[in-house]
Structure 1
Amino acid sequence: MRALQAAAPWGAGSLKVVEAPDPSPSHGEVLVRMKAVSLNYRDLLMINGMYGRASATTEDLITPFSDGCGVVEAIGPGVTRVAVGDRVATLFFQNWNAGRPTLAKLSSALGFPIPGAGRELAVFSQEGVSKVPDYLTDQQVATLPCAALTAWRGLFEDARLEPGDTVVLQGTGGVSIFGLQFAKAAGYRTIITSSSDEKLARAKTLGADHLINYKTTPDWGRAVREIAPDGADFIMEVGGGGTIQQSLRAVRIGGHIAIIGVVAGAGDINPAVLIGNSARLQGLSVGSREMFEAMCRALELHGIGPVVDKVFPWTEAGAAFAAMAGGEHFGKIVLEF
């Protein structure tokens, strides 16, 4: 089989297609023939040697991608959750089935340190895959494990929202677009931000109620307050240090800010602001298999179609990463096998 591999000196240019022996499943494992994988910002950091509880060393070899769709080709002894021929998604955390997160559960992420889904054939624990709705394409399934589940958990597992509440989605990447789709299905009022009027117009077609161009309106926290004078009930914070101060300005007293990314860099948070408005900041790292399966039931109930913006052959992963780094995408970028 063939697999993608990144190594020092890192960067998209270090990605290579290598030959590797065909794997076979052991007890409790499944062999999956991959059909598609999707890119997350995490993957961009990973191939640059910058991601993980410890940064990659010059000795590490990384097979990237946590998010994939494939078909079970063989099963090992003791496998009961899936059968040969089942279409499955890989799960971001291979050992987080349910319950609260722990260090052990959060240390089981695909891509690094566990080899990821960027290979033609891959062996996973039966606990680390899940069957998926039939109506979704392989490309759409590949977008679910990280971006969709992150949005789902932020809105429905961690926050306490009610229909009619106001949510702010930052940007038009995968998590925020899934957040928009989920929020509309739940009856929330949605505000989405972007530096592109074209992308905002596309978000409008997905049901966004209010649009803010943060390039022309850098004080977008004030703009949120003009729409919702008491402030937003929920904010999907993807920018980190570059946007958190605006989020703190925009959130209502007692509101919820889900911190899921740092695409605009790190920064400082003034604790006095949090005390003053009793806001809740919560770091969010994807979710469990139980959450994933609940999300899939909701997707099927509402017929939600994940937004796949760009598709590349899996052997052209470098070009896909260049598109991501350039902010060209709306929704998700997918590699197809």
Structure 2
Amino acid sequence: MSQLHNSKQKTFSQSDQGIAQKRSVFSIIFIILIFAVVISVILSVSIGQVSIPFHQSFQILIQQITGGEFGSLDGISDGMYTDIIWQIRFPRVLLAMVMGAGLALCGTVMQASVQNPLADPYILGISSGAALGATFSIMLGFSVGGLLGDLGVASWAFIGALGAAALVLGLASIGGKTSSVKLVLAGTVINALCNAFSNFIIYFAKNSDGIRSVSFWTMGSLASAEWSTLPLISAVVIAAIAFFLFQSRVMNTMLMGEETAITLGVNLNFYRRLYMILSSVVTGILVSTCGIIGFVGLIVPHIVRSVVGSDHKRLIPTSILFGSLFMIWTDIFARTIVPNGELPVGIVTSLLGAPVFMYMLIKKSYGFGGR
């Protein structure tokens, strides 16, 4: 009996050590990511067509953020650098951070909700719905005010994204319970339908300038970043992050399946629908602001999951930070790779994301929902 008791104590001790070790690794990764994001922000405002010294960028940011409490900058070049950093580059970096965090968060939530490793923020036809709304506005010249103000293309893109998501949720709800398979199939159908209508409008409008604008918008870009565009998108993403950080238990239960959820008293049908609606609103606002930026919500949760595991208590905050870091450096690459110009950031995320995802598929280093 004493040997059995000692054996159990040893097993529990090893289990506790394993949990403590995982927490320690997560804490180290989390601190490293925060530090990397801060350094990347300063580097990002220094890098561009006009190169600005790192220490000077840091000084300008501190001076602007604190309202000049740490002294003022003198000289014509310093004044020009201040305008470049504070009016152009810093809002763009902040938008990249918010965009990356939002897409990574929505990707993590949707992969858990539909229990599908190929799920991303556009699985509900959100991208095609937004593209249809933007095409409608650009090609036919409509604009609308309202929630987003008189923004024309952005407003119609948001309306299209939410409309597509509503159609998918409605279609998946027919017959009672909303299942993950029905959501994926409904998203595929609405995707095809919205793309067909977009092509129909483009074909009959015969507007070469409009076609070019639609093509550029669907490639995604952070070039429209301004201080005025940040409050709404930041508030929505921060609110979504605050909500989903406390939903790790439910999302962990989703990975265990319907039977386990029923045993634990979790109404998966309700939570799945709630998560999809919230993710659709967040993604709709992100898409209406920056266009379609693919692969971020798909590959970031996979990369993070392979490092910290599938527990959403660790997965969600790490994915948010890594998504921000990924978008910052993707944007740096997009605006520096072409001399005197920039690539649409959606092209860069696809060029970087596709090989990474193919490598992960070939490697098969972990299973979805596992380590």
Same fold (TM over 0.5): no
Give 1 or 2: higher helix fraction.
2
Give 1 or 2: higher strand fraction.
1
TM-score when scaled to structure 2? 0.24
Higher relative contact order (CA 8 A, sep 6+): 2
TM-score when scaled to structure 1? 0.26
Report which of the two structures shows the higher radius of gyration computed on alpha carbons.
Answer: 2
